[in-house]
């Protein structure tokens, strides 16, 4: 099963995703989590984060936003985490020319539409994924 299809593992509505809970779930990937969110907290002081349990997906998701604009959604999967950006078709050319992997470009190009939006999901398994996420944040905030 690919990571994009893996079910989030924070599925107990009674267990709030504290740093300790997240660390237990992520294992070695906790270093990527810490690096990525340290970057977010240093570079984007106006971002806010909110963990919520969603009954429809039966899991906890972290919504990261700037004012009322959602920048990305975060979920925890087995020994990794992923963030998903939802973008309109007008972003396609920018994404195809971005400094991200060909797999991510293809994912967006062929992605399923949710109304006017398409998702692009980065699964954090290596340091390079942080660079892809940084690029996508810049893209998301630019339009």
Extended beta strands in 28-131, E state: 47-54, 59-66, 69-77, 80-88, 113-114, 117-124
Q: Is residue 42 part of a domain?
A: yes
Model pTM above 0.85: yes
**Structural domain boundaries enclosing 85:** 19-142
The answer for 115, left when phi > 0, alpha when psi is -120 to 50, beta otherwise, is left
Within a domain: residue 13? Answer: no
In a domain, 34, yes or no: yes
Q: Is the pLDDT of residue 3 over 60?
A: no
Average model confidence (pLDDT) across the chain: 94
Where residue 6 falls among pLDDT bands split at 50, 70, 90?
confident
In a domain, 9, yes or no: no
């Amino acid at each position: 099963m690919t990571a994009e299809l893996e079910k989030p593992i924070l599925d107990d509505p009674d267990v709030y995703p504290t740093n300790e809970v997240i660390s237990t779930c992520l294992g070695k990937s906790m270093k990527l989590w810490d690096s990525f969110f340290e970057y977010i907290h240093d570079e984007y002081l106006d971002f806010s984060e909110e963990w919520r349990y969603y009954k429809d997906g039966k899991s906890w998701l972290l919504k990261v936003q700037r004012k009322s604009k959602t920048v990305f959604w975060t979920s925890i999967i087995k020994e990794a985490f992923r963030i998903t950006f939802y973008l309109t078709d007008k972003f396609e050319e920018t994404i195809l020319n971005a400094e991200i992997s060909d797999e991510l470009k293809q994912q967006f190009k062929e992605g399923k539409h949710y109304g006017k939006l398409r998702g692009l999901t980065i699964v954090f398994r290596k340091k390079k994924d942080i660079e892809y996420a940084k690029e996508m944040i810049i893209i998301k905030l630019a339009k």
